[in-house]
Amino acid sequence: MFPSSNLDAILPKSISRRRRTQALLECIALEANEVAGDTSETTHLTRRGLPVVQNSAERAAKRNEGVVVKVPPGREPVPLELSPKPVAVNGIEHSYVPRPIHDWHREYIRVHKDLKKEEQKIDTSNPIPAKLKDLRKNFAALQKRYLYESSQIRSAHEADDRQCDIDNIEADLRKVMNGTLPVPNSREAGKIIKNLALLKEERDLILSSLGKQFIRHHYPLFVNERRCVSGSQSSPSVEPLLLWDKRAYEPLHVEKDEFSPKTPCSIVDIQPNPDSFIFEAQRQYKASNESFKYISVLTTFRALLRMFIPYPKKSIEQVLRLLFASRPMTDFPSAIPSLAEYATPKITVDAKEAASWKHVKTNNRRGVFVGYDMDCLAEATLQRIPSKLFWDIAVEWERWRHEKNLPDTLSKSLGGAFISDMNEAFEARR
């Protein structure tokens, strides 16, 4: 049982809330389900976008089809509440952009109701009351905020439609890199290159209408939320990233004041996974009489997971540059195969452009080149990287460190200076 305010630490419902504890739980849990909690809470849903929320709910319902979970009367989850429709002012109608309701939307509804009540009481022969003036001013500000939010979300959806098409093309290029698809001929390659350029131009044009704050913080999260649910060609895994999105059923509803003492709580059922990669690696290292190497890899792994708290929006490229300072990024899709699913291949018909790429797939007769350049891992942020991949990075670090005869140190940028004993990284800060 967890206080609802702390549930995000274990079972976040948005990748923006994914932290080290959740990443560790991914390593050892077969599944984690919220059995009961306050299902009216929608704060986490507003970060995800309505299509992702609906996708997650539909897949949970599908998993529950073959299992009869009896829900006691009155314990049904609260249906998803959507934002209110925009109010027409002076006869001007505004288009509605459906999205999960946000806390401030309730204030928008309340102020509009209060405004209508006050306007019905008004006596045109008297001066306008101060209360009515304040309500009109407050509502005008909320209306402006509502319409701005609508335009931003509408544009974000339109930009993400282009980004989804880009992701799907890049997913096909990854299949070329792993041999699942053949290298396209020159005619097909020309179409792909032209289509990618057009989609990126359209996406960037739409994004230019968004506010800087939205582009910097909300839009990248919006795109990554879509990438981290299953059912998309651009999702590297057939399984969603978050344990919440893998839930076998919806939680039962519990009112906030039902617990004693009156602290809103959630009940979580965690099923351990005896075959998790952590335990499997432990068995393998032990069988090889390399327990010390296991501890070393585990320590590096834990240090990498620490980066979730201060740097969730860092790219995996930035992390790799800290660990493997002298190593080119183009090495990693082959050195760490699980990382290849998050790398972005390039395609060209220009041999000079492809000369600096690595692991190039080509058909010389047609002059088409598909490969990785130095920016191939620049777009994959820590938010959307599964825990298993961090383990694979830690294993590669240990292998590479021994090969290069490097000291047993790790940059604390993972925080700043070098440390000789990795256990120092986990001591309480003073």
> What confidence score (pLDDT) does residue 235 get?
64
If asked whether residues 299 and 420 sit together in one domain, one would say yes
> What confidence score (pLDDT) does residue 49 get?
86
Distances (CA, A) of 36 to 5, 66, 228, 317: 14, 21, 24, 39
If asked whether residues 185 and 49 sit together in one domain, one would say no
> What confidence score (pLDDT) does residue 1 get?
86
Would you say residue 150 lies in a domain?
Answer: yes
Task: Tell me the pLDDT tens digit for each residue of 95-139.
Answer: 999 999 998 999 999 999 999 998 888 777 778 888 888 999 999
> What confidence score (pLDDT) does residue 409 get?
58
Contact 243, 26 (CB under 8 A): yes
Residue 216 vs residue 93, higher pLDDT:
93
> What confidence score (pLDDT) does residue 313 get?
80
Residue 416 to residue 393: CA distance in whole angstroms: 20
> What confidence score (pLDDT) does residue 314 get?
84
Q: How many domains does the structure of the chain reveal?
A: 3
**Range 60-83 average pLDDT:** 85
If asked whether residues 189 and 202 sit together in one domain, one would say yes
Beta partners for residue 411, in sequence order: 418
Distances (CA, A) of 200 to 164, 190, 343, 384: 11, 16, 18, 22
pLDDT of residue 211 exceeding 90, the answer is no
Q: Rounded to an integer, what is the distance from CA 367 to the centroid of its chain? A: 37
pLDDT of residue 94 exceeding 80, the answer is yes
Would you say residue 94 lies in a domain?
Answer: no
If asked whether residues 215 and 291 sit together in one domain, one would say no
If asked whether residues 296 and 413 sit together in one domain, one would say yes
Residue 408 to residue 394: CA distance in whole angstroms: 13
Task: Tell me the pLDDT tens digit for each residue of 150-207.
Answer: 999 999 999 999 999 999 999 999 999 999 999 999 999 999 999 999 999 999 999 9
Residue 13 to residue 37: CA distance in whole angstroms: 13
> What confidence score (pLDDT) does residue 412 get?
47
Residue 369 to residue 276: CA distance in whole angstroms: 38
SS3 of 231, please? coil
Residue 68 falls in which region: left (phi positive, over 0), alpha (psi -120 to 50) or beta: beta
Distances (CA, A) of 338 to 104, 352, 376, 392, 396: 42, 29, 14, 8, 12
> What confidence score (pLDDT) does residue 418 get?
39
SS (H, E, C) 261-286: CCCCEEEEEEEECCCCHHHHHHHHHH
Residue 81 to residue 60: CA distance in whole angstroms: 18
If asked whether residues 147 and 206 sit together in one domain, one would say yes
pLDDT band at 234 (very low <50, low <70, confident <90, very high): low
275: how many CB neighbours lie within 10 A of its CB? 9
> What confidence score (pLDDT) does residue 146 get?
95
Task: Tell me the pLDDT tens digit for each residue of 254-306.
Answer: 988 888 778 888 999 999 999 999 989 999 988 998 888 888 888 888 888 88
If asked whether residues 267 and 282 sit together in one domain, one would say no
Domain end: 220, 249, 272, which one? 272
Would you say residue 429 lies in a domain?
Answer: no
Task: Tell me the pLDDT tens digit for each residue of 12-54.
Answer: 999 888 888 888 898 899 899 999 988 888 777 877 889 999 9
DSSP at 200: H
> What confidence score (pLDDT) does residue 169 get?
94
Full residue range of the structural domain in which residue 154 is found: 103-229
Task: Tell me the pLDDT tens digit for each residue of 391-428.
Answer: 999 999 888 887 776 666 564 445 433 344 444 444 55
If asked whether residues 404 and 307 sit together in one domain, one would say yes
**DSSP H helical ranges for 288-378:** 291-305, 316-323, 332-335, 351-354
Contact 342, 333 (CB under 8 A): no
If asked whether residues 220 and 256 sit together in one domain, one would say no
Domain end: 194, 229, 264, which one? 229
Would you say residue 130 lies in a domain?
Answer: yes
If asked whether residues 327 and 405 sit together in one domain, one would say yes
Would you say residue 283 lies in a domain?
Answer: yes
Contact 330, 372 (CB under 8 A): yes
420: how many CB neighbours lie within 10 A of its CB? 9
Domain end: 210, 229, 248, which one? 229
Would you say residue 91 lies in a domain?
Answer: no
> What confidence score (pLDDT) does residue 232 get?
59
> What confidence score (pLDDT) does residue 161 get?
93
Contact 11, 244 (CB under 8 A): yes
Would you say residue 96 lies in a domain?
Answer: no
**Range 227-248 average pLDDT:** 79
Report the interhelical angle of 219-227 vs 130-177 (nearest 10°). Answer: 50
If asked whether residues 79 and 132 sit together in one domain, one would say no
Q: Rounded to an integer, what is the distance from CA 309 to the centroid of its chain? A: 14
* The residue type at 239: E
Beta partners for residue 34, in sequence order: 268
Would you say residue 89 lies in a domain?
Answer: no
Task: Tell me the pLDDT tens digit for each residue of 337-371.
Answer: 999 999 999 999 988 888 889 888 988 677 899 99
DSSP at 258: S
Beta partners for residue 269, in sequence order: 33
> What confidence score (pLDDT) does residue 413 get?
45
If asked whether residues 205 and 135 sit together in one domain, one would say yes
**DSSP H helical ranges for 122-251:** 130-177, 186-207, 212-213, 219-227
Residue 166 vs residue 215, higher pLDDT:
166
**Dihedral, CA of residue 355, residue 356, residue 361 and residue 364, to nearest 10:** 0
